Structure 1
């Protein structure tokens, strides 16, 4: 149609990421900035994702985000250190990785709760040593997950534009962490598909999207966060099970528009910060 640019042929670098490596007839809505295919430095060296050579172009990332369902590629913001690790050097692995569909998210979280949270220093009141009976229900108040992902990504790129590269992976948002062979959570689980299984569930219940991955950190946008304290308490329990090492990374928090001290090991304090919070950030050591 007049006024619309023609689709761009799928770059050959992206073909190996698709089933069978065949991208015939596939197109992108925009031309990509210079980049290359990254393959795993482990095992058979499987193709993992496409990585831009330079800092992510915001307008390119935004367009790919908006049309990911049509292209089949999820755009990630990938943080690199000064030497380009870990992404540019292929420090990714698919060894021991199963499928997210093989795992029940509640069973995964429950196992991690008893393995990591209960034996640790966390004050888990009001649940005590027991995994909460039943997860928090899906939030009824819904808004566009893509819009919230775009807002979060824009903030990250505005704050530090040189920090982020553009990564493209042939997977959904939730499955992207497994599809790129991310292994920064090896101390927590040796099968990154378990992380993706939980992310799938959070997408369904809270409208989360994986916006960025930086070293051992996972940045999620949240379009439908818990709005009540009892809901937030159950979500907080899931967060502690999901990332018990550093769910809480500060000694203060903004609660009810007031800055208050927080110990970092009290589930109920952390839960207060989740009410209507549109961004979840996790860090594993």
Structure 2
């Protein structure tokens, strides 16, 4: 279930409407209605088919996804270095969050809505959800369907990232998820550890993305980055 505006969102709308809606149990998210897959009415949303994010252990899920993603490790030796087929475990959490996650979310939303953004026709939507990480499951989003058909399992990992890195779900398209990040990793080792989680979570980010190796992805898409974006083929 979600409600979205009938007019295009603009910078400032997240702060203007999102904070007030949150007090009523509605959380904001930007949605794209102008790409080739249309808006939520055409996304094949299936909220009744999703489980509950709190019923899943995020580290167990990431270990499971990692094993699936590296089923043929010989073909991925260079791609996943410095790791191998053994799940490396969770990245360490930062000692503190250097930014308020909700303020970072509003800043990120404004940046996405500025002129020149990749959004074609963004709308602000309001979703009844307990926490931002639950939004995809709450609306029955099926963006990762070719990889994971129970989006609540994806949201269990988002909950963990919410706790460790202060992420918020900022935007959804038919098959893309955009997060703001209050505490991105700042060192090479920490970024590579987070990149390993990203690879398990969404292998397409690396195997079909702009960076051919996990190490390059860590340096250019994770280290110090205040926005994490995921796309499933």
Q: TM-score range with shorter-chain normalisation?
A: 0.7 to 0.9
Aligned residues: 225
Q: Does the Cα contact within 8 Å between 2:30 and 2:172 map onto a contact in 1? A: yes
User: Which shifted more, 194-203 or 270-279?
Assistant: 270-279
2:146 aligned with 1:187, yes or no? yes
2:158 corresponds, among 178, 193, 199, to 199
- Structure 1 pair 150/248, CA: closer, same or farther in 2 (3 Å)? farther
Q: How far off is 1:145 after superposition?
A: 0.8
1:70 corresponds, among 15, 23, 27, to 23
Q: Does the Cα contact within 8 Å between 1:75 and 1:166 map onto a contact in 2? A: yes
CA distance in structure 2 between the partners assigned to 1:250 and 1:103 by the alignment: 28
Relative to total residues, which structure has the larger strand share, 1 or 2?
Answer: 1
What value does the CA root-mean-square deviation take over the aligned residues? Answer: 2.1
Per-residue CA deviations over 1:106-132 (Å, capped at 9, x if unaligned) read 111111111124437542222211100
User: Which shifted more, 156-165 or 189-198?
Assistant: 156-165
- Tell me the equivalent position of 2:122: 164
2:204 aligned with 1:245, yes or no? yes
Q: Does the Cα contact within 8 Å between 2:184 and 2:226 map onto a contact in 1? A: yes
- Tell me the equivalent position of 1:85: 38
Q: Does the Cα contact within 8 Å between 1:75 and 1:169 map onto a contact in 2? A: yes
Q: How far off is 1:198 after superposition?
A: 0.4
Structure number with larger C-alpha Rg: 1
In structure 2, runs of 5+ residues without a counterpart are none
Q: How far off is 1:220 after superposition?
A: 0.5
Normalised TM-score (structure 2) = 0.88
Q: Does the Cα contact within 8 Å between 2:43 and 2:142 map onto a contact in 1? A: no
1:267 corresponds, among 214, 219, 224, to 214
- Structure 1 pair 188/148, CA: closer, same or farther in 2 (3 Å)? same
1:137 corresponds, among 92, 103, 106, to 92
User: Which shifted more, 185-194 or 48-57?
Assistant: 48-57
- Structure 1 pair 86/136, CA: closer, same or farther in 2 (3 Å)? same
In structure 1, runs of 5+ residues without a counterpart are 1-47, 252-263
- Tell me the equivalent position of 1:279: 227
Q: Does the Cα contact within 8 Å between 2:11 and 2:111 map onto a contact in 1? A: no
**What secondary structure, in the 3-state scheme, does the structure 1 residue paired with 2:109 have?**
helix
CA distance in structure 1 between the partners assigned to 2:108 and 2:12 by the alignment: 14
CA distance in structure 2 between the partners assigned to 1:243 and 1:99 by the alignment: 20
Relative to total residues, which structure has the larger helix share, 1 or 2?
Answer: 2
Q: Does the Cα contact within 8 Å between 2:137 and 2:151 map onto a contact in 1? A: yes
**What secondary structure, in the 3-state scheme, does the structure 1 residue paired with 2:228 have?**
strand
User: Which shifted more, 157-166 or 226-235?
Assistant: 157-166
CA distance in structure 2 between the partners assigned to 1:230 and 1:281 by the alignment: 20
Q: How far off is 1:60 after superposition?
A: 3.4
